[in-house]
Amino acid sequence: MTTPPRPAPLRLGIAGLGTVGTGVVRIVQTHAALIERRCGRAIEITAVSARDRSRNRDVDVSGYAWEDDAAALARRPDVDVLVELVGGADGIARDATEAAIAAGKDVVTANKAMLALHGQGLAEAAEAAGRVLRFEAAVAGGIPVVKALTEGLAGNAVTRIVGVMNGTCNYILTRMESAGLAYETVFSEAEKLGYLEADPTLDVGGIDAGHKLALLAAIGFGTRVDFEAVELQGIERVSIEDIRHAADMGYRIKLLGIAQMTGRGLEQRMAPCLVPVDSPLAQLPGATNMVMLEGDAVGRIVLRGAGAGSGPTASAVMADVIDIARGTRLSTFGQPAAGLARAQPARTAAPTPWYLRMTLIDKPGALAKVAHALGESGVSIDRMRQYGHADPFAPVLIVTHATTQDAIEDAASRFSSTGVLVGDPVALAIEDV
Amino acid sequence: MTTPPRPAPLRLGIAGLGTVGTGVVRIVQTHAALIERRCGRAIEITAVSARDRSRNRDVDVSGYAWEDDAAALARRPDVDVLVELVGGADGIARDATEAAIAAGKDVVTANKAMLALHGQGLAEAAEAAGRVLRFEAAVAGGIPVVKALTEGLAGNAVTRIVGVMNGTCNYILTRMESAGLAYETVFSEAEKLGYLEADPTLDVGGIDAGHKLALLAAIGFGTRVDFEAVELQGIERVSIEDIRHAADMGYRIKLLGIAQMTGRGLEQRMAPCLVPVDSPLAQLPGATNMVMLEGDAVGRIVLRGAGAGSGPTASAVMADVIDIARGTRLSTFGQPAAGLARAQPARTAAPTPWYLRMTLIDKPGALAKVAHALGESGVSIDRMRQYGHADPFAPVLIVTHATTQDAIEDAASRFSSTGVLVGDPVALAIEDV
């Protein structure tokens, strides 16, 4: 019996040796035999690239060729797959990705910003070149949600995608509640722990989570990724008082993404919301992520796991790499990018109850003016509470009956002409998920 | 510009037109355009087979060729993929599957019994013939857990698989607790609702869930599926008293499967266990399934969804069919079946606290004899309670400190020689999952 020739290994060029990059190196090094059994071929790293060659890393990369320039790495003839872990929507990451595609390489990336902003063009370029561009690690860390949606639910008309997809925001909100601390305090803690992006607005402004939502929506609804159309609200204005009021009423506050296709178009919203305390979403601790995928046949599938970190994100990168090694070749968004429809962006129209917190100047008739403004906007009040206070400013909490975001924003604009509000109200939808 | 030739459709032969089969027909009929966009080719049903041609079905199958014999269906030249939804480990299902493989067709099945008992041989036959045999729908209904484990976690050494994977058992246990009803009462309800298999032991004896666990273990640990080695305990002896005692202590009882590879071999156990009430597993309602996959890189991923039903199971069947249509060709267990290792079966050795309930003959020294027997087996008692009672039989509840299953079974065998027990004790592990 002759041994069949050993198939050629799949050769990776890894651009970016930070937390995720070193995690990928570690998996390739420690699980070489396991991965070869699973793929029917070996996976090797041939070359790496990073900002600083001299930096001390806790993995040994001395056996790989070094490139200072990630685009040069991408073009190397001994690289089959560019693993892009540099990050950032443009610059090095995008240049390297474009270079890889132009040179006929497959690309695996964890870069949500690049794909949310340039995914359509990159996917079209890859597909025109007969190459794949995959991004499991870009959404919800180690959770194989891109795979679940693109493949596992491929027989479904996707009806809705709901998720908590930014671990840092979830950490901040969870910690505020559990320790009773102010937003600013926990934000500083998170900063010290290295949980925040260099530009923290990416996290707390909901941008990072919005990128992820836009990517899942493109797959789920077969539309061009449209991050600009995501209605974004960050967690910066969520106070410990909001968290306490929500808890009193049986809710927790989560930065929640919701995407759904309606008769009017594609709704995409990422905003802090109140969710019932017994909902699986409400019970999500710390930096965990959760995504709910709803399809017409399957109903609701819930996926939960670590949303970030070296091991989990590297696990997702390797899932894409192993798919390629096994010969699985899928379009970036689950169908040819060139054929993706342009979705009509739609404002969220499904009515929900809303939580409103505002500060009134404590004078007779102030509350009545607010109530009147709400009535004028067609918003009816379920509960209203004015809290005890020592200064001339009265904190007021209102829970409305189900109403639309448009009506709430109309009311908010009327508030300003009442002259009794201090600052803008905080308005959070109450989502029954 | 010329239109490229339309690729040939993938042609399905569906054997079995029960709940799942009609669900598959419905998806193919309603989502033809959507699926064609996603696959780059159409998926068509060309022929069907079922027990009773004249039966009224809520889908129209009149446009498909009819075969009385599923094996003949499998051999039809106009069938590319046999979709086996007949069920049963042997007989029609196995004959049709073997016929399909012999005729060079791919097979998609929802048949956990057939795969748990004959999966190794069938997978080897399929792989020798260059065909795929896929079974997403056989485990945890609509949850894409086979895909998550085989592909999403392919870069991980899988460390543990834990799951609630029989919806009927979970329905019975959940309903007993919520309605305070006896096992027998809820069992009868479930029977009337059609929730039970024709042979209910498959469900309540843990066999069906054991099949699923054995299949996941084979993928996760790269070993031959070995259902015989699964330690099985059903839910038949779980009483409403057990559920109440567990609740008093902050636990719920779930039929829990656990598989893990240890230095001594592969542990596979499916048994009712106590789980902390705030664990995601404990909060699983009714017929929902949940699987936790643990890998060395990814940590713990939790997947939750409908474990049965027409739509969810058909969704999983279609995921496999669409994989084939897209050209994804994976080994049945994630690596070539012929190379799978034979696992050494190992008894569960990790010590846990145990819950013991027994009935004593109410006479002086009875409790002391039980305590002594436990001590002789090296089992130390955390809590012990004798409940108030009117008859000469005293119900006793014991929670042990962490100890092994071997020690518990040793103690149970000593109990019988004390002469103070009525019947056998109920012994349930307390799992901190």
Identify which of B142, B147, B295 has the shortest CB distance to residue A315: B295
The arithmetic mean of pLDDT across residues B176-185, rounded, is 96
Asked if B269 and B231 count as a contact pair (C-beta separation under 8 A), the reply is: yes
Cα–Cα distance between B349 and B268 in angstroms, integer? 11
Closest Cα of chain B to A319: distance in Å?
5
Helix (H) or strand (E) run with residue B31 in it: none
Instruction: Give the span between the Cα atoms of B148 and B144, in whole angstroms.
Output: 6
Residue A44 pLDDT: 98
Of B306, B335, B363, the residue at which a domain comes to its end is B306
Do B240 and B371 belong to one domain?
A: no
Q: Which of residues 98-137 of B touch A (CB under 8 A)?
A: 136
Residues B266 and B376 in one domain: no
d(CA B221, CA B226): 12
- Measured distance CA(A422)–CA(A402) in Å, rounded: 25
Best of B3, B10, B156 to disrupt the A interface (most A CBs within 10 Å) is: B156
B335 within a domain of the structure (yes/no): no
Question: Following DSSP, what letter does each residue of B222-291 receive, concatenated?
Answer: TB---GGGSEE--STT--HHHHHHHHHTTEEEEEEEEEEEETTEEEEEEEEEEEETTSTTTT--TTEEEE
Write the CA distances from A344 to A62, A157, A223, A339, A347, integer angstroms.
50, 18, 9, 16, 10
Name B397's bridge partners. B357, B385
pLDDT at position B348? 85
Q: How many domains does chain B have?
A: 2
Could you tell me if residue A2 is inside a domain?
A: no
In a domain, B15, yes or no: no
User: First vs last Cα of chain A: how many Å apart?
Assistant: 60
**Ordered alpha helix ranges (H), A40-111:** 70-75, 92-102
- Angle at CA of residue A425, ends A419 and A428, nearest 5°: 155
For residue B218, being part of any structural domain is answered with yes
Question: Cα separation of B299 and A314, whole Å?
Answer: 11
**Which A residues in the span 318-337 are in contact with B, Cβ-Cβ below 8 Å?**
318-319, 321-323, 326-330, 334-336
Provide the domain limits for residue B424: 354-429
**Residue at A53 is within a domain:** yes
- For the packed helices A112-128 and A92-102, what is the interaxial angle rounded to 10 degrees? 10
Give the closest of B31, B148, B298 to A311, CB-based.
Answer: B298
Q: What is the pLDDT of residue B3?
A: 65
CA-based nearest residue in chain A for residue B329: A328
- Cα(A227)–Cα(A224) distance, integer angstroms: 9
Q: Are B173 and B287 members of one domain?
A: yes
Statement to judge: residues A366 and A224 lie in one domain: no
> In the structure, what pLDDT confidence band is assigned to residue B146 with cuts at 50, 70 and 90?
very high
Q: What DSSP designation does B430 have? A: B
Query: pLDDT of B339-387, one tens digit each?
Result: 999 999 999 888 999 999 999 998 888 889 999 999 999 999 999 888 7
The residues, ordered by sequence, that sit 6+ positions from A216 with a Cβ below 8 Å of its Cβ are: A139, A145, A146, A149, A161, A163, A259, A291
For residue B209, what pLDDT is reported? 97
Q: What is the pLDDT of residue A4?
A: 67
A134 and A154 share one domain:
no
Q: Please give the structure tokens belonging to residue A193.
A: 């722990």
Distance of CA B91 to the CA centre of its chain: 21
Do A100 and A125 lie in a common domain?
A: yes
Query: Can you give the length of chain A in residues?
Result: 433
Q: Residue A305: name the closest of A334, A280, A277 by CA.
A: A280
CATH number of residue A58's parent domain: 3.40.50.720
Residue B371 belongs to domain with CATH number: 3.30.70.260
Residue B352 has what DSSP assignment?
Answer: B
What whole-number distance in Å separates Cα of residue B43 and Cα of residue A48? 42
For residues B159 and B285, the answer to whether their CB atoms sit within 8 Å is no
pLDDT string in tens for chain A (433-residue length): 566 678 999 999 999 999 999 999 999 999 999 999 999 999 999 999 999 998 888 899 999 999 999 999 999 999 999 999 999 999 999 999 999 999 999 999 999 999 999 999 999 999 999 999 999 999 999 999 999 999 999 999 999 999 999 999 999 999 999 999 999 999 999 999 888 888 899 999 999 999 999 999 999 999 999 999 999 999 999 999 999 999 999 999 999 999 999 999 999 999 999 999 988 899 898 889 999 999 999 999 999 999 999 999 999 999 999 999 999 999 999 999 999 999 999 998 889 999 999 999 988 888 899 999 999 999 999 998 887 777 788 889 999 999 999 999 999 999 988 989 998 999 999 998 8
Any domain includes A34:
yes
Chain A partners within 8 Å of B339 (Cβ): 37
Query: Which helix or strand (DSSP H or E) is residue B82 part of?
Result: strand B81-84
Q: Which residue, A369, A379, A365, A381, is CA-closest to A417?
A: A369
- Which residues from B are below 8 Å from A339, CB to CB? 37
Q: What are phi and psi of A239, to 5 degrees?
A: -105, 165
Q: Same domain for B372 and B263? A: no
Domain match, B231 and B302 both: yes
* DSSP codes, A278-319: TSTTTT--TTEEEEEEEETTTEEEEEEEE-SSHHHHHHHHHH
Average pLDDT of the segment spanning B122-139? 98
In this predicted structure, the answer to whether residue B113 has a pLDDT above a threshold of 70 is yes
Q: Are residues A195 and A295 located together in one domain of the fold?
A: yes
Max CA distance (Å), chain B: 96
Q: With beta carbons less than 8 A apart as the criterion, state whether B190 and B170 touch.
A: no
In this complex, is the C-beta atom of B6 within 8 Å of any C-beta atom belonging to chain A?
no
Q: Write the DSSP assignment of A120-171 as a string of letters.
A: HHHHHHHHHTT--EE-GGGSSTTS-HHHIIIIITTTS-EEEEEEE--HHHHH
Beta strand pairing call for A65-67 and A43-49: parallel
Q: Which of B306, B333, B366 is the last residue of a domain?
A: B306
Mutate to test the interface with B, among A1, A12, A31, A38 (most CBs of B within 10 A): A38
| Residue A161 and residue A303 in one domain | yes
Whether A320 is in a domain gets the answer no
Q: At what angle do helices B167-179 and B183-192 cross, to 10 degrees?
A: 130
Computed over every residue of chain B, the mean pLDDT equals 95
Of B143, B144, B302, the CB nearest to A305: B302
**Under a CB-based contact definition with an 8 Å cutoff, are residues A38 and A48 in contact?**
no
Amino acid at B221: F
Domain end residue (candidates: B306, B333, B365)? B306
* Same structural domain, B380 and B302: no
What 8-state DSSP symbol labels residue A229? G
Return the CATH number at A211.
3.30.360.10
- CA–CA dist A177, A197 (Å, integer): 22
CA distances to A138, B30, B46, B97, B133 from B79, in Å: 39, 20, 7, 13, 15
Three-state secondary structure along A46-63?
EEEECCCCCCCCCCCCCC
Tell me if A319 is assigned to some domain: no
Check whether residue B282 and residue B369 sit in a common domain.
no
Q: Do A299 and B335 touch (CB under 8 A)?
A: no
DSSP B294-307: EETTTEEEEEEEE-
